[in-house]
Structure 1
Amino acid sequence: MWLARPWAVAVVGVYVVLWLIFDRESFNWHAVATVATLTMALFIQRSEHRDTQAIHAKLDELLRANGEAKDELAKLDEKEPEQIEAFRTKH
């Protein structure tokens, strides 16, 4: 999830600066639209990552609070999607 990190926006900024330094003539409206799209994608990715992390934190707390919860549930998010689906259908 490197796109959800704050420094990803800085990387895009460095990319734009290098683009302007080395090929200023090709930086037209299409380039601006490309950079804007990439920046929006980074912000959307960060927002989704934040929401997912919040949900995981809440679920972890519920699992800790419920003494009857299975230990395997706490590490379920480390498994592949197919393994999670198999777990859900089994239980």
Structure 2
Amino acid sequence: MNGRFARFALAISEVVGTPRAFLLALALVVVWGVTGPLFHFSDSWQLVINTGTTVVTFLMVFLIQATQNRETRALHLKLDELIRSQRKARNIFTDLEHATDDELAELEAEFRKVRARAEARQAAKSAGNTH
């Protein structure tokens, strides 16, 4: 069932993410708006758009989340493979999305120091070029 749902979610996300789908949704809203005077802007007329948009939004949230989760997982695996394949890379960076917040904070602090050193070297190099 997971495979079928993943294919379904991907197919739906690709279809609804097109300009054609947007224009169809826009056309439906315009038709609904134009029919307002025919139905005297009744509560039932308003309920049609409210219910329709609520149901579509509710379902789309789950489809979009499923698609994003799958794409994110695939992206992480690709990055893990690139890290693993590089001799100088530290393998601790593979599967980093499962690290604790403290581990992530330590690595972040380390890279802040690396950036600060790089900025200091760049500033020193720029200061040397101005004289």
TM-score range, shorter chain: 0.5 to 0.7
Alpha-carbon RMSD across the aligned residues, in angstroms, is: 2.8
In structure 1, the partner of 2:59 is: 39
The match for 1:58 among 63, 68, 78 is 78
Cα distance change on mapping 1:51 and 1:82 into 2, 3 Å: farther
Greater relative CO (CA pairs within 8 A, separation 6+): 1
Mean Cα deviation higher: 50-59 or 78-87: 78-87
Cα distance change on mapping 1:81 and 1:35 into 2, 3 Å: farther
In structure 2, the partner of 1:74 is: 94
Aligned identity (percent) is 27
Distance 2:84 2:76 in 1: 12
**3-state SS, counterpart of residue 59 of structure 1:** helix
**Structure 1 length-normalised TM:** 0.54
Gaps of 5+ in 2: 10-46, 112-131
**Deviation string for 1:59-88 (max 9, x for gaps)?**
011012112221321132102456424412
**What one-letter code is carried by the residue in structure 2 that aligns with 1:33?**
T
